[in-house]
C-alpha cells in the first residue's frame, strides 16, 4: 500500500518499526517490482534510505542502491562504502547484501574495485569484500567460472589478523561457501596456500576452512589436509589444527548416531 502510493515516508516508518531482515528484503522486492518503470525514483529512494538516521531504514539502503551501479557507479560505491563502515552492525549487514549484489550482478566490471577494497583502511569494508564472495560462488549459472577469481580475490586477506576478517574468511567464505560448492578447486588452493605462506594467520584460516561444513562434507580429505599441518609448532596453528580435528571427529560421530 505504501509503495503503490509512492509514500516513501510511510514505507520508511514501517521499516524502522520492524528492522527485521525479512521485512527489509520484502520492502526491496515489492518496491523493485512496483517501480520497475521508474528506476530513477527507485534510486532516489535508496539514497533517501542511506541518508536516514534510523538504522532500520538505513539497513535496507544497500539493497536498493546496488541495483543502480550501471547508471550511478560512483555514487553507489560511495554510499556502499559509507554504509559498510557504519558503526551499527545491522547497517553493516545490510550493506554486505549490497556489496554481494554489486559483485554478483556486475562481476567483471567491479572486480577491480573489490581488489582495491580488500586493502581498504576500514576492517568493516574489507570484511564486506569477504562476505560478498559467498553468494557469487554459490550462483548456479556463473559460480564455477567465477570461483577461481574469487579465491584470488580472497588470497591477500588470508594474512589479515583482524578478528572480524578471520572469523568470516576461513570458516565461512572459504569453508562454507567455496569448499562446499567447489571442493576440487578449493582443496587445490588450500594446498597451494599452505606451501606458499609460512604465516600463522594464513594457516589458521586453512585449518578453520576444513573444520567448516564444507570440510565436514569431505571428512577424510579434510583430515588428510590437517595432518600436513600437525608438524607446525606455533601455538596459534597447533591450536587451530587440534580444534579442527576435534570438530571433524565430533561431526563424524554425530552422523553415525
Computed from CA positions of residues 9, 24, 65, 69, in that sequence, does the dihedral angle turn out positive or negative?
negative
Tell me: do 97 and 113 sit in the same domain. no
Tell me: do 81 and 173 sit in the same domain. no
List, as one string, the DSSP characters of 191-226. Answer: HHHHHH---HHHHHHHHHHHTSHHHHHTHHHHHHHH
* pTM score of the predicted model: 0.92
Block residue for cell numbers 576492517: 123
Tell me: do 124 and 153 sit in the same domain. yes
Closest CA to 147 of 205, 139, 99: 139
Tell me: do 158 and 74 sit in the same domain. no
- C-alpha grid cell for residue 142? 556463473
The values of phi and psi at residue 242, to 5°, are: -60, -45
Tell me: do 127 and 154 sit in the same domain. yes
Tell me: do 62 and 11 sit in the same domain. yes
- What does the pLDDT profile of the chain (257 residues) look like in tens digits? 677 778 888 888 888 888 888 888 888 998 899 999 999 999 999 999 999 989 989 999 999 999 999 999 999 999 999 999 999 999 999 999 999 999 999 999 999 999 999 999 999 999 999 999 999 999 999 999 999 999 999 999 999 999 999 999 999 999 999 999 999 999 999 999 999 999 999 999 999 999 999 999 999 999 999 999 999 999 999 999 999 999 998 876 655 54
- Quote the crossing angle between the two packed helices 183-196 and 219-227, to the nearest 10°: 10
- C-alpha grid cell for residue 1? 500500500
56, 82, 101 - which closes a domain: 101
Q: How far apart are CA 216 and CA 208, in angstroms?
A: 11
Q: How far apart are CA 87 and CA 247, in angstroms?
A: 33
What angle is formed at CA 25 by the lines to CA 20 and CA 27, rounded to 5 degrees?
Answer: 95
77, 101, 125 - which closes a domain: 101
Tell me: do 95 and 115 sit in the same domain. no
CATH of the domain at 175: 1.25.10
**62 Cβ neighbours under 8 A, 6+ residues apart:** 79, 80, 83, 84, 94, 95, 96, 97, 98, 99, 101
Q: How far apart are CA 75 and CA 32, in angstroms?
A: 19
Tell me: do 225 and 121 sit in the same domain. yes
Which structural domain range is residue 30 located in? Answer: 1-101
According to DSSP, residue 65 is labeled H
101, 135, 162 - which closes a domain: 101
Amino acid at each position: 500500500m505504501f509503495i503503490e502510493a509512492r509514500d516513501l515516508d510511510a514505507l520508511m516508518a514501517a521499516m524502522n518499526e520492524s528492522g527485521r531482515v525479512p521485512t527489509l528484503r520484502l520492502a526491496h522486492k515489492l518496491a523493485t517490482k512496483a517501480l520497475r518503470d521508474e528506476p530513477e525514483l527507485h534510486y532516489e529512494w535508496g539514497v533517501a534510505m542511506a541518508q536516514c538516521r534510523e538504522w532500520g531504514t538505513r539497513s535496507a539502503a544497500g539493497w536498493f542502491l546496488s541495483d543502480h551501479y550501471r547508471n550511478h557507479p560512483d555514487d553507489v560505491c560511495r554510499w556502499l562504502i559509507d554504509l559498510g563502515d557504519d558503526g551499527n552492525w545491522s547497517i553493516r549487514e545490510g550493506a554486505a547484501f549490497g556489496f554481494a549484489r554489486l559483485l554478483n550482478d556486475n562481476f567483471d566490471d567491479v572486480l577491480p574495485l573489490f581488489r582495491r577494497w580488500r586493502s581498504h583502511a576500514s576492517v568493516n569494508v574489507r570484511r564486506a569484500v569477504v562476505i560478498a564472495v559467498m553468494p557469487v560462488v554459490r550462483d548456479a549459472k556463473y559460480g564455477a567460472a567465477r570461483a577461481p577469481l574469487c579465491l584470488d580475490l580472497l588470497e591477500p586477506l588470508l594474512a589479515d589478523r583482524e578478528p572480524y576478517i578471520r572469523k568470516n574468511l576461513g570458516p565461512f567464505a572459504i569453508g562454507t561457501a567455496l569448499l562446499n560448492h567447489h571442493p576440487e578447486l578449493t582443496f587445490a588452493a588450500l594446498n597451494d596456500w599452505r606451501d606458499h605462506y609460512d604465516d600463522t594467520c594464513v594457516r589458521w584460516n586453512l585449518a578453520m576452512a576444513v573444520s567448516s561444513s564444507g570440510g565436514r562434507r569431505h571428512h577424510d580429505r579434510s583430515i588428510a589436509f590437517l595432518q600436513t599441518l600437525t608438524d607446525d609448532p606455533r601455538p596459534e596453528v597447533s591450536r587451530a589444527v587440534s580444534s579442527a580435528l576435534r570438530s571433524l571427529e565430533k561431526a563424524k560421530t554425530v552422523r553415525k548416531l
